[in-house]
Amino acid sequence: MEFIVIVLVIFLLLVLASCVKIVPQANAYVLERLGGFQETWTVGLHFKIPFIDRVAKRVIMKEQVVDFAPQPVITKDNVTMRIDTVVFFQITDPKLFAYGVENPIMAIENLSATTLRNIIGDLELDQTLTSRETINTKMRASLDVATDPWGIKVNRVELKNIIPPAAIQDAMEKQMKAERERREAILRAEGEKTSTILVAEGKKESVILDAEAEKQSAILRAEAEKEKRIREAEGEAEAILKVQQATADGIRFIREAGADEAVLKIKSLEAFVKAADGQATKIIIPSEIQGIAGLAASVKEVWK
């Protein structure tokens, strides 16, 4: 009897423990009573009636990501390719999620496949390859509207891979290779053109600098020659001035010594002869010196 009581007590404790539920963060429980929806439990401690209430579904409220397998699609220009998508969604209403659709993930996958086929069917191959952002936006808007009755909000849709046929891939690779070679040829030609221009400009600059240097050199040589001639002329003038000064001093000394006019003229003639004894090619003889030529001869006989 005591054993039965102990068993019953343990059973009651287990039943009571099962009636206590703690809902963790970012989760929600859908509670049913006698098979019908009762309420939604959010974060915290909750109690249910044993054998009458039950947790029908545990729902994760965090954003979730599903990666769907590549789907075959046909473009407007009849090119078949395979595209796989990634869908980011979040459950906003646990009740609708629990009762809206049997398999929400499979429903989203099928819906994304049909939506993708509709969008790609209106685009050509080149548009499909270059319009990822447009396709993503259209798919997100379409899926978000379709999943509202299921309590699901689609936040983002991304085209993960676009896989065209092998022949198209080969043609695209050849086109890209030809484009790279064309750009390389253009860059090489531009480089050679730039190099030629720089060399020509360098030669032109060199010629200009050489001409400028020659001009400066000629100017310096002319200035040096001018300075030389000026200094030679100044030297000759200074020499003549000194000779004249010496002659004047000599005449002054002779006068102070009491010499007559004839002696003075003879001394002038001697000074003139000394002045003319040089590189001069033309000599101008004063008239008074010519007049005393005979006098000089007479004086010479007397001195003998």
* pLDDT of 279: 52
* pLDDT of 300: 44
Structure tokens given for 250: 């000599």
Q: How far apart are CA 64 and CA 147, in angstroms?
A: 14
CB atoms within 10 A of CB 48: 19
* pLDDT of 276: 54
**Bridge partners (DSSP) listed for residue 84:** 161
Domains in the chain (CATH in brackets) are: 2-60 (no CATH), 64-164 (3.30.479.30), 260-304 (no CATH)
* pLDDT of 156: 93
One DSSP character per residue, the chain reads -HHHHHHHHHHHHHHHHHTEEEEPTTEEEEEEETTEEEEEE-SEEEE--TTTEEEEEEEE-S-EEEEPPPEEEE-TTS-EEEEEEEEEEEES-HHHHHHH-S-HHHHHHHHHHHHHHHHHTTS-HHHHHH-HHHHHHHHHHHHHHHHGGGTEEEEEEEEEEEE--HHHHHHHHHHHHHHHHHHHHHHHHHHHHHHHHHHHHHHHHHHHHHHHHHHHHHHHHHHHHHHHHHHHHHHHHHHHHHHHHHHHHHHHHHHHTT--HHHHHHHHHHHHHHHHSSS-S--PPPHHHHHTHHHHHHHHHHH-
| Contact partners, residue 165, CB within 8 Å, separation at least 6 | 79, 80, 81
* pLDDT of 97: 92
* pLDDT of 2: 75
pTM: 0.55
Structure tokens given for 47: 């109690």
Q: How far apart are CA 41 and CA 24, in angstroms?
A: 10
Show pLDDT as tens, one digit a residue, over the chain (304 residues): 677 878 777 877 787 777 888 899 999 999 999 888 999 999 999 988 888 888 999 999 999 999 988 888 888 888 888 898 999 999 999 999 999 888 889 999 999 999 999 999 888 888 888 888 999 999 999 999 999 999 999 999 999 888 888 777 777 778 778 888 888 889 888 888 888 888 888 888 888 888 888 888 888 888 888 888 888 888 887 877 777 777 777 667 766 766 556 555 665 556 555 555 555 455 555 555 555 445 444 444 444 4
Whole-angstrom CA distances from 179 to 76, 152, 165, 183, 282 are 26, 46, 21, 6, 91
